[in-house]
Amino acid sequence: MSSPDGAGGARPRSRLRGLAFSVLALGLGVVLLELTLQGLSAFVPGVSGLLLVEGGGRPTDPRRIPDERIGERPNPDWFDHDARGFRNDEALERAAVVALGDSQTYGTGVDGAEAWPAVLGKGLGEPAYNMGFPGYGPAQMLLLLEDALALEPRVVVAAMYAGNDLYDAYKLVHVDRLGDALGGPSEAERAAIDAAEAETSLVDSVMVAYANRRVGLRGVLSRRCRIYGLLRATQRAFEDKPDPAAREAARTDWGLLTARAAARPGRYAAFEDERFKTLFTPGYRALAVQLDDPRIREGERLCLESIARMAELASEADARLVALFVPTKEYVFAELEREAPAGGETYRKLVADEERLWSEARAFLEERDVAIADGVRALRAPLDRGEQPYPMDHDGHPNALGQRALAEEVQRVIEGLGD
Amino acid sequence: MAEPTRPPRGLLSDFRAFLASHRLLWLGPVALGLAWLVVLHLVTAGGSSAETGYVLS
């Protein structure tokens, strides 16, 4: 029975209000925490390293720092980078040869001294300067050319990698809106690009295939929310970390590697014949070189136009430009894979697209009198001798032997240039 | 004698008063979060920055 003064009704109402206030106060605390973490991660590198991720959901790569002109550039503070940030013993003032390229030139997976530009310098007996960096491609190289020519080289080598340079060039110009000096695509091409992008974001597709990037609400939270970053860092801090021996085994134990491939058939394909064993990543590579996608096609145009423009600018500075074709591991193994099929339809599509890319690139550059160093031939030669130019795991970068093969090919072309 | 009547207050000023008297509720998450950040920083200090794992790029 309710009391005549209504006091019995007021108490539950005030309890409800107290509960609502408590929830609101807690919410306010969470918002304040998020704002504090946002502020800290913007100004304190240690905090941003802990809370932020790159697109792939991996920790922020400490080797790179933001750059207005080119998006990202190498970090001069990284242990084997020079004062400019590039991977050399010292920031040379003059160099006979300057190498521009991506991680294949930087030498991901090998020591700096084993990367092809360093091996080339030794072979030529002249200083060679490595300006390669993971994520760069011909469109980025064009933006860096002025810095390269400042070293007064007689040769600039521009290494174009089939595995992601077309995608990187498209992303730089059309997504990051940098490096638009090459003119836009035709109206029809523009419309095709917009239509394809409206259907699926190329960047999202590549990042999902590349590194399982989260998409949707969880993806937005993962990239934007610092409390989410704090929880992720907590999970990472307490998960089991493999010791060095286990990590080495994960790269070289074929049993473990084939088990990994079997568990992720969409991501890896295990190749094995009497002489060689390695993992392929055909899904990601095929996506980044699919020439029937208008965005990748545009990336190809940007890459080739960039190399042609670099050749002109180098010539004006009395330097010669050599274009080095760096194939994917999948393409290098293509003939052997035909004998011992491993990659399926996606692999065959990748090989067909890459075949077309190198054929079109060769025709385009030969017409403009640009010297070509053929990395395909160079990297297939060790296979003929029974030597494997790539590691056994899914790494698509040449090992020290593969890097040497690339260096020897570039040296052969440079020595044939004459004066 | 008539009981003194409390002047009517708006919801917002009530909430302000609630926040003032329950500081732990909203300062707690901030303090806990920041303390946890320091712990994580110490736990992961000298960690695997060299292990970037960027083998696909």
Question: B1-57, pLDDT tens digit by residue?
Answer: 555 566 667 888 999 999 999 999 999 999 999 999 999 888 876 444 333 333 444
Of B37, B44, B49, the CB nearest to A230: B37
Tell whether the torsion through CA atoms of A242, A246, A252 and A255 is positive or negative.
Answer: negative
Per-chain mean pLDDT for chain A: 90
Find, in chain B, the residue whose alpha carbon is nearest to that of A31: B30
Share of chain A above pLDDT 90, in %: 67
* Contact check, Cβ <8 Å, A25/B25: yes
Report ipTM for this prediction: 0.76
Residues 6+ apart with CB under 8 A from A182: A139, A142, A173, A301, A302, A305, A306, A309
* Nearest to A65, CA basis, from A45, A51, A95, A47: A45
Spatial separation of the C-alpha atoms in residues A228 and A248, rounded to whole Å: 31
Residues 6+ apart with CB under 8 A from A149: A98, A156, A313, A314, A317, A319
The pTM of the full predicted model, rounded to 2 decimals, is 0.79
Angstroms from B25 CA to nearest CA on chain A: 6
* Nearest to A349, CA basis, from A398, A406, A280: A280
Is the minimum CB–CB distance between A395 and chain B shorter than 8 Å?
yes
Is the minimum CB–CB distance between A26 and chain B shorter than 8 Å?
yes
pLDDT above 70 (res A58): no
* Contact check, Cβ <8 Å, A21/B34: no
For A115, the 3-state DSSP assignment is: coil
Kindly list the distances between the CA atom of residue A64 and the CA atoms of A34, A135, A307, in Å, as whole numbers in the listed order: 25, 10, 24
Question: What residues 10-49 of chain B have any CB closer than 8 A to a CB of chain A?
Answer: 14-15, 18-19, 22, 25-30, 33-34, 36-37, 40-41, 43-44, 48-49
Which stretch of A87-101, A231-245, A327-341, A399-413 has the lowest confidence by average pLDDT? Answer: A231-245
Residues 6+ apart with CB under 8 A from A366: A372
How much is the average pLDDT of A79-83?
94
Q: Which pLDDT score is estimated for A205?
A: 84
Q: Could you read off the pLDDT of A179-218 as tens digits, one per residue? A: 767 778 888 999 999 999 999 888 888 877 776 666 667 7
pLDDT above 50 (res A32): yes
- The 8-class DSSP code of residue A272 comes to E
Q: Which pLDDT score is estimated for B52?
A: 38
Spatial separation of the C-alpha atoms in residues A138 and A145, rounded to whole Å: 10
Q: Which pLDDT score is estimated for A9?
A: 52
* Contact check, Cβ <8 Å, B40/A50: yes
